[in-house]
Amino acid sequence: MDAVDLIRTKRDGGRLSDEQIRWLMQGYVKGEIPDEQVSALLMAIVWRGMAPDELATWTAEIIASGERLDLSEVGRPTVDKHSTGGVGDKVSLVLTPLVAACGVAMPQLSGRGLGHTGGTLDKMESIPGWRALLSPEEFMRALREVGGVICAAGPGLAPADRKLYALRDVTGTVESIPLIAGSIMSKKIAEGTESLVLDVKVGSGAFMKNLDDARRLAETMVGLGNAHGVRTAALLTDMDTPLGRSAGNAVEVAEALEVLGGGGPADLVEITLALAREMLALAGIDADPAALLADGTALAKWRDVVKAQGGDAGAALPVAAERVVVPAPRSGFLTRLDAYQVGVAAWRLGAGRARKEDAVSLTAGVVWHARPGDEVAEGQPLLELHVDDPSRVPRAQEALVGAYDIGPEPPQPRPLVIERIA
């Protein structure tokens, strides 16, 4: 076969055959097909898209490039959750111990933050001693004995996607629903879970800015999961407003602990319970996750999850050296708080990274003292910037210009869970 033929076929709107896709994936992983030719093919896919059966083969071949974990020995139903990314999204930190406490095993293979969106592994690393990298034996033991794992994916899972993702990142070919869906689902299917719930964010702080695109992505991923034998459902959830009360690393862990202790922000609790109920339904488990948050069971399970990965759940979380308050400029009701701009501010304070190899600050972040609908008084703290390096503050403040509105009347309430797709 010839890579140029594949590029021409897709450029002209044709469908790649199963044999062509298989040849491409195998050759690219082996280094036999150069980046420039795969880049051209990816751009053709961005413009021309992929048919459902074509994407199913594409995803299957990404999975086949590495190992597919066998979780059958865990001894309990396995179910996972994937979020497409947002601002203040610390849901995985609560969900993992919560659903584990309900009797399922959750293999939460997570990633790191990039740009304005946070990463679960960065947040967890603010816990002293906690390790993101586990051996296969440690991973399986934690799933069997504790029921929940939050860790980095091993190098053996979907290596073709790792190469493709890095290439898409530098060639302007990230924004493609088939490529996004194939990337996400190949890793989730390869991890071996029986069921999967997708949290597809939509709004200013999400990758998908409008509802139609978010719905198409969710439908595509649900179709891929079910086609590969993984029971899959999706919730479309709002990300115009950041989730909870904080965006950062240690500040989000502290907030997750509030929820595990039976408190925490109402929006974070609502999203967490909605996802937990979906996960338990797919796994066939009859349990009340709200009761386990209220009675301390989920918090006790959190300590087990952290301990299994070397962390000290009782240790104090790190705090920033300085806090800079942004006061409310006038009295009234907060009518808007833009998730994207808050995320950029947290990133500029040091909580995020511009490149995958950048270091992040565990203590940097943004805390907000009001959400849309809350009444505020002129001069009261509206936002709080947590930072170790004060030189970062001016650019973070620039990111927040126009990030919020205050009006005489509260806004109409917006649904957090917009739609369910299965």
pLDDT tens digits along 5-58? 999 999 999 999 999 999 999 999 999 999 999 999 999 999 999 999 999 999
Sketch the domain layout of the chain as residue ranges. 3-49, 72-153+190-308, 322-407
Q: What is the mean pLDDT of residues 97-121?
A: 90
- With cut-offs at 50, 70 and 90, classify the pLDDT of residue 359: confident
Print burial letters for 35-55: b (CB count within 10 Å at least 16), e (below 16): eebbbbbbbbbbebebeeebb
| Catalytic center residues | 82, 161, 168, 183, 187
CATH number of this structure's domain 322-407:
3.90.1170.30
pLDDT tens digits along 290-343? 999 999 999 999 999 999 999 999 999 999 999 999 999 999 999 999 999 999
pLDDT at 114 over 80: no
Residue 61 is predicted with a pLDDT of: 97
Q: Write down the architecture of domain 72-153+190-308 according to CATH.
A: 3-Layer(aba) Sandwich (3.40)
**From CA 369, how far away is CA 71, in angstroms rounded?**
43
CATH superfamily of 3-49: Transferase, Pyrimidine Nucleoside Phosphorylase; Chain C (1.20.970.10)
pLDDT tens digits along 248-305? 999 999 999 999 999 999 999 999 999 999 999 999 999 999 999 999 999 999 999 9
Q: What is the pTM of this model?
A: 0.94
pLDDT tens digits along 384-418? 999 999 999 999 999 999 999 999 999 999 999 99
